[in-house]
């Protein structure tokens, strides 16, 4: 975000990472649970969807919003290995499944192919910020193996060629 936006955030509620909208979204979850700790996971999703990652600063601010120790949030966050902390996710997060059914149908090769094409290891993001490559364990789409999940869309029965053209066509 731009410097001036960040400054005005700091002025409004003292937060440098969590915008008022994000804080409001998180607070929307409060009535669902008897305590605020249960909001940790939904809140982490809200933050990652908004910022593209969950930097340590956001964890400290979330601790204030929820009223629980920051270390306990970081503890939960790191367990899932779903949330990035160093830099934002790419525009497209590409999950290539490599569990048994997809592996039998070539999932490992797809992963290897993308690793070469994009020049990143699973877990990493391309320098242009476009793609984050992830190796997934069973996406639950075994009937259309090998499956690839990109952001919110599942792509069935992928091949190297289909993947290549798909990545080119993505806006």
Phi then psi for residue 131, to 5 deg, are -125, 135
Minimum distance of other proteins from residue 131's CB (angstroms): 14
Minimum distance of other proteins from residue 29's CB (angstroms): 9
Strands 92-97 and 148-150: antiparallel
Burial class (CB in 10 A: 0-12, 13-18, 19+), 159: middle
Burial class (CB in 10 A: 0-12, 13-18, 19+), 128: exposed
Structure-block tokens of residue 79? 């367990």
**Contact positions toward other proteins, by CB under 8 A?**
32-35, 37-42, 44-45, 56, 59-60, 68-72, 74-76, 78-83, 95, 98-101, 103-105, 121-123, 134-145, 149, 151-154
| 67 three-state secondary structure | coil
Burial class (CB in 10 A: 0-12, 13-18, 19+), 39: buried
Nearer to other proteins, 51 or 105 (CB): 105
Minimum distance of other proteins from residue 7's CB (angstroms): 21
Nearer to other proteins, 19 or 98 (CB): 98
Nearer to other proteins, 1 or 100 (CB): 100
Minimum distance of other proteins from residue 140's CB (angstroms): 4
Nearer to other proteins, 2 or 81 (CB): 81
Minimum distance of other proteins from residue 101's CB (angstroms): 4
Residue for token digits 């290539």? 96
Nearer to other proteins, 2 or 68 (CB): 68
């Amino acid at each position: 975000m731009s410097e001036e936006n960040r400054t005005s955030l700091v002025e409004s509620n003292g937060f440098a990472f969590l915008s008022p909208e994000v804080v409001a979204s998180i607070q929307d979850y409060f009535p669902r649970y008897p305590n605020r700790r249960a909001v940790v996971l939904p809140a982490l999703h809200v933050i990652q969807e908004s910022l593209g990652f969950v930097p340590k600063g956001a964890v400290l601010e979330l601790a204030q919003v929820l009223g629980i120790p920051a270390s306990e949030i970081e503890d939960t966050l790191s367990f899932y290995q779903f949330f990035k902390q160093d830099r934002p996710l790419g525009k497209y997060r590409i999950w290539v499944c490599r569990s048994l059914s997809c592996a039998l149908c070539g999932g490992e090769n797809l992963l290897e192919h993308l690793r070469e094409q994009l020049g990143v290891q699973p877990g990493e993001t391309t320098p242009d910020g476009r793609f984050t490559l992830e190796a997934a364990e069973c996406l639950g789409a075994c009937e259309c193996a090998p499956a690839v999940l990109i952001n919110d869309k599942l792509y069935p029965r992928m091949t190297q060629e289909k993947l290549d053209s798909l990545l080119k066509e993505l806006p």
